[in-house]
Amino acid sequence: MVAGLLLVGCGPRSVAGMDEVYFAWDQRRVLCGVTIDDGLRSNFVPSLDNLREGMERARRREEVLIFYAHEPGAGLSVERLESVLALVNDVGLDFLTFDELHGPAGGAGVALTFDDAHIDEWHGQRALFAAYDARVTFFVTRIHLLSDRRLDMLHELYADGHAIESHGLNHVNGPDYVQEHGLQAYIDDEVLPSLVVLRREGFSPTTFAYPFGARTSEIDRAVLEHVALVRSIAWTIRTPLVASPCP
């Protein structure tokens, strides 16, 4: 027992062992991603071998492996992004967007997601995405503050086959907001207005990605009345002291 606890604290996690970052085309509606960012703030950078093993599990079991990243050229180096895209092609997996994860069951794939509002940097990788037939999901926050120029960029990404989804109106921490203002206020202030603006702009949001991955089962139930899926993030440092946000 003691040895087991000690092992829990050791070493980087194996992506293939993280059940919470795979979607098996079942009834699960709270999905989690694992980071591929390699920037300075990233405390866990899975090696390409680790990612390959993770992708091979997805292929074997016909699951979808979910990745998240932020800003190409900063949090995620462009070199690393290209390596990951090439690896997906090499392992023979399809790219799936989040709006494809709640329709008829598909097969093995990778759902690559980008969070926040790095519109210029995302748009700057259009050619790279196209070169690898990569269709990805952009979870956008503060969309009501975007300039027309950046909204046009989002529309170009959408026209390329990428999905434009919600990452909250103002990127607040859900459980904190609920504690202070109540669950209904969170839905009314943070979730619904974000969906309204996305729809007004001509997008069709189906998924809400929690800022900071922060969620509770109570919040899931309320948000899932308005979207088909929610996305959180897997803890990548093993610690017995902090509960993972993934259910």
Binding mask 157-196 for Zn ion (x = CB under 5 A): ----------------------------------------
Binding mask 102-131 for Zn ion (x = CB under 5 A): -------------xx---------------
* Residue 20 binds to Zn ion (criterion: CB under 5 A): no
21 vs 31: CA distance, rounded Å:
7
Least separation, in Å, of the C-beta of 64 and Zn ion?
Answer: 21
Residue nearest to Zn ion (CB): 115
Least separation, in Å, of the C-beta of 139 and Zn ion?
Answer: 7
Least separation, in Å, of the C-beta of 212 and Zn ion?
Answer: 7
Cβ(15)–Cβ(48) under 8 Å? Answer: no
- Please say which residue, 57 or 215, places its beta carbon nearer to Zn ion: 215
22 vs 64: CA distance, rounded Å:
5
Tell me the angle at which helices 78-91 and 48-61 cross, rounded to the nearest 10 degrees: 30
Binding mask 58-97 for Zn ion (x = CB under 5 A): ----------------------------------------
- Please say which residue, 129 or 208, places its beta carbon nearer to Zn ion: 208
Residue 209 neighbours by CB under 8 Å, 6+ apart: 68, 113, 115, 139, 165, 166, 167, 168, 230, 231, 232
Least separation, in Å, of the C-beta of 167 and Zn ion?
Answer: 6
Among 211, 213, 219, 236, binds Zn ion (CB under 5 A): 211
Closest CA relative to residue 34, chosen from 238, 237, 235, 239: 235
How is residue 139 written in tokens?
């979870």
Least separation, in Å, of the C-beta of 115 and Zn ion?
Answer: 4
Nearest 5°: CA angle at 200, between 170 and 212?
Answer: 25
40 vs 177: CA distance, rounded Å:
28
Q: Strand pairing partners for 95?
A: 110
Least separation, in Å, of the C-beta of 44 and Zn ion?
Answer: 17
The residue ranges that bind Zn ion (CB under 5 A) are 115-116, 211
